[in-house]
Chain A
Amino acid sequence: MKKLILPMSLLAILAIVITGAVFFIPKEKKVNLSLLVVEQDITSLTRDSVAIAIGTIKDIIPGHLGMDNSGNKIVFTDYVLLVKNAIKGNVDEEVKIRIIGGSVGEGKNKFSVFAEDEPDFVKGEEVLVFLSKNSGGFFDLPVDYYAVEGRFQGKYQIVNNEARNPKGIFKLDKVMDEINLTLQSQK
């Protein structure tokens, strides 16, 4: 009988550990999205966007759950842009931008979506953004919301008269000249 005490104890400990793992470890589910996109420069971003604006990210509305057009769960994060300079299109003083990605729920009910190519916005940052009414086939964009044209390609952070995005750092004046030239050629 004494010989069984040790193995039985080990089995009991193992059972407790497994039970703990099953019930108490957060069972977060995740979705990752990655896109293949058309390469876009300032000219094509200007041509294909419905609006272009410079402004400051005033507010971030954290992740909220939705469904994509295929009936799959998806998470969106919304940003409010306080427009300082509307370069193209009729945009309101405040513009709502919807981006795929974010988290909802807590613990075992947590659900996170990461979209590799979507731009990141930070509250208070000044941006030049090319706006779109297309959601990339994922969801129906509400009437008063915009997406970003060309995903990360269509968002530039403005710092010290420079326009910065993952493709490089550019003089803001040069970028604006290119935008204006494209807009004039479209008239």
Chain B
Amino acid sequence: MSKIKNLIIISALFCLITPVSALAYSYSGYKWFQTPGTIRTVDIDPIGRNTAEELAIRNSMSSWSNAGAKFYYVDTTTSGNDFGYYYEVSNDLAVNRIEINWLGYITRTYVKVNTYHPWATNGDANSYDFESMAAHELGHGLRLLHSSDTAATMYYSMSRGETKKRTLETDDKNGIKYIYGSL
């Protein structure tokens, strides 16, 4: 009997000291309105400067739509949730702006991309990857904040030639599932 007791104590101690996967994603507390139990869809106008950039935005929308959460991005042309461009000599690559109503629900999201920096859709080592940027910014569109996981799409910075943000990491998927629920 005492052996069983010891076994239970050792098992309990083992569970206590075994590391659990830490949360790295960060959530702002705001979301698109979602009727409980339903799948939320949000329209995005994938406006790029050329068809390659528009394809990159659509790929990023698909990445989030296929993350296993009750959330889909929908391809439209008139939602006002779109991508725009600006030029300034600064180390900002892109910015996402979210508008939130008095009930705490998101009403609009849009992205502005700084064209001071070189952008490419083919993984060029000397340019910033447009699809990686789009995936990051569309994550903000769900209202995920920056992740402390350096491998995550939602990590705050990006280097030239880096394309890993195109693919959502487990941390990113956990974030969207936390906000909108798992499928």
Contact = CB atoms under 8 A, between A and B. Distances in A.
Interface stretch (A76-84, A133-141, A169-177): A133-141
B88 A36 contact: no
A135 B89 CA distance: 9
B86 interface: yes
Interface residues on A, range: 20 to 34
Interface in B135-156: 136-137, 140, 143, 145-146, 156
B99 A31 contact: yes
Contacts of B93: 35-38
Main secondary structure of the interface of B (DSSP, over half): mixed
A36 B156 contact: yes
Interface residues of B, number: 34
B121 interface: no
B157 A36 contact: yes
Contacts of A39: 157-159
A48 to B, nearest CB: 6
A30 B99 CA distance: 6
A36 B136 contact: yes
Contacts of A138: 95
B92 A37 contact: yes
A28 B114 CA distance: 30
Contact of B100 (A30, A37, A135): A30
B33 interface: no
A120 to B, nearest CB: 15
Nearest to B89: A134
A136 B95 contact: yes
Contacts of A32: 28, 30, 97-98, 100, 143
A36 B146 CA distance: 9
Contacts of A37: 91-93, 156-157
Interface of B: 28, 30, 84, 86-102, 112, 114, 117, 133, 136-137, 140, 143, 145-146, 156-159
